[in-house]
Amino acid sequence: MTDSHARPGLAVEVVTLFPELVLGNLRHGVLGRAIERGRLAVGTVDPRAYATDVHRTVDDRPYGGGPGMLLAVEPLATAIDAARARLPAGGPVIYLSAQGRQFGQADAVRLAGSAGYVLLAGRYEGVDERVLETCVDEELSIGDYVLSGGELAACVVIDACARLLPGVLDNERSAVEESFGDGLLDWPHYTRPEEWRGLKVPQVLRGGNHAAIDRWRRMQALGRTAERRPDLMARRTMDESDVRLLAEYRAARAADEATNLGARRRGPKTDAETEDKP
Ligand code: 4FV
């Protein structure tokens, strides 16, 4: 396949005690294709390979006591330097931890546009703070919960980036149009059959009028974002047409609720109910 995408692929190095946990995740679907097409290259560096004692020790007990172990400054720092040396200069070293700043689509776009970066996947209770002070450029979290290791978080970051790389998604539109593309949640999606358990695909999607379809989808994206993620709406400036669309969505929902047709239906609907709803 001629590589129409001039820009060299994205290179990522993951520092991890479990290389297989990372590489195993990347062999499937979009990620596997991105690697096959040379759009993405993922390497791993195992700190244990840089351990100098006979037991190849990488962890130790925390000063001040407390449960669990920590990844010690060495061989971790040496492993991070080895990973950084494999990449084009200047790529950030990112530590995945629950103490990090929340990872978001903007980070995925930024990292997908970079020449490459190192992901540090912690284990145990975390790593010696001095490694963060000297070898790490930023700390990112994928959510407010504690994982047993940073590997899954590293795969989340790589996955979110890979989909944005040119030539990875068969339809580039997907990456642009999906959730958070413009800070809104996605609109509802339907495919065949046209009717299932009395639930019909909204008429507007079956009518072929693409202006009406685009309008309906934007109304749904605005409405669902306002309902489910007011924090995202708070970050947006709404133009006149969005204000009208959101008002129309809310009016339709209120009418729906009023006729109590909004509640999740158990079992087939009557014909009268199947008439098209917004
Ligand atoms: C995590 C998160 C996370 C902390 C200790 C791995 C664990 C262990 N990473 N978002 N939440 N990491 O819980 O990214 O080192």
Q: Could you report the per-residue pLDDT of 202-227, keeping only the tens digit for each?
A: 999 999 999 999 999 999 999 999 99
Residue 156 CB–ligand 1 contact under 6 Å: no
Residue 90, φ and ψ in degrees, nearest 5: 95, -10
Q: What percentage of the chain exceeds 90 in pLDDT?
A: 77
Ligand 1 near 150 CB (within 6 A): yes
Q: Which atom of ligand 1 is nearest to the CA of 144?
A: 11
- Give residue 233 CA to ligand 1 midpoint distance, Å: 28
Question: Sign of the C-alpha dihedral, residues 110, 115, 116, 117?
Answer: negative
Question: Which residue lies with its CA nearest to atom 5 of ligand 1?
Answer: 126
| Angle, vertex CA 237, rays to CA 236 and CA 241, nearest 5 | 115
* Mean pLDDT score across all residues of the chain: 90
Which pLDDT band holds residue 134 (cuts at 50, 70, 90)? very high
The percent of residues in the chain predicted with pLDDT above 70, rounded, is: 86
| Gyration radius of the chain's alpha carbons | 24
pLDDT digits (tens, 9 = 90+) for 230-276: 999 999 899 999 999 999 999 999 988 887 766 665 555 555 555 55
Give the per-residue SS3 of the chain. CCCCCCCCCEEEEEECCCHHHHHHHCCCHHHHHHHHCCCEEEEEECHHHHCCCCCCCCEECCCCCCCCCEECHHHHHHHHHHHHHCCCCCCCEEEEEEEEEECCHHHHHHHHCCCEEEEEECECCCECHHHHHHHCCEEEECCCCCCCECHHHHHHHHHHHHCCCCCCCCCHHHHHHCCCCCCCCCCCCCCCCCEECCEECCHHHHCCCHHHHHHHHHHHHHHHHHHHCHHHHHCCCCCHHHHHHHHHHHHHHHHHHHCCCCCCCCCCCCHHHHCCCC
The minimum-distance atom of ligand 1 relative to the CA of 125 is 5
The rounded distance, in Å, linking the Cα atoms of 121 and 151 is 5
92 CA to centre of ligand 1 in angstroms: 18
Does position 172 have pLDDT exceeding 80, yes or no? no
Question: For residue 269, how many other CB atoms are within 10 A of its CB?
Answer: 15
277: its two tokens: 């709803």
Residue 178 has what pLDDT?
61
Tokens of 107: 């980070």
Find the length of the chain. Answer: 278
- pLDDT tens, position by position, 71-115: 999 999 999 999 999 998 789 999 999 999 999 999 999 999 998
Inter-CA distances, 59 with 69, 75, 76, Å: 6, 9, 9
β-partners of residue 101 are 140
For ligand 1, whether the C-beta of 142 sits within 6 Å is: yes
What's at 85, amino acid-wise? A
Give the pLDDT confidence score for residue 263 in this predicted structure.
64
Q: How much is the pLDDT for 169?
A: 82
Ligand 1 contact, 147 CB (< 6 A): yes
Between the CA of 98 and the centroid of ligand 1 the distance, in Å, is 5
Give residue 88's pLDDT: 83
- Tell me: pLDDT of 1 over 50: no
**pLDDT value of residue 265:** 58
For the cut 70, the answer to whether the pLDDT of residue 179 exceeds it is: no
Does the Cβ of 153 fall within 6 Å of ligand 1?
A: yes
Q: Residue 181 above 60 pLDDT?
A: yes
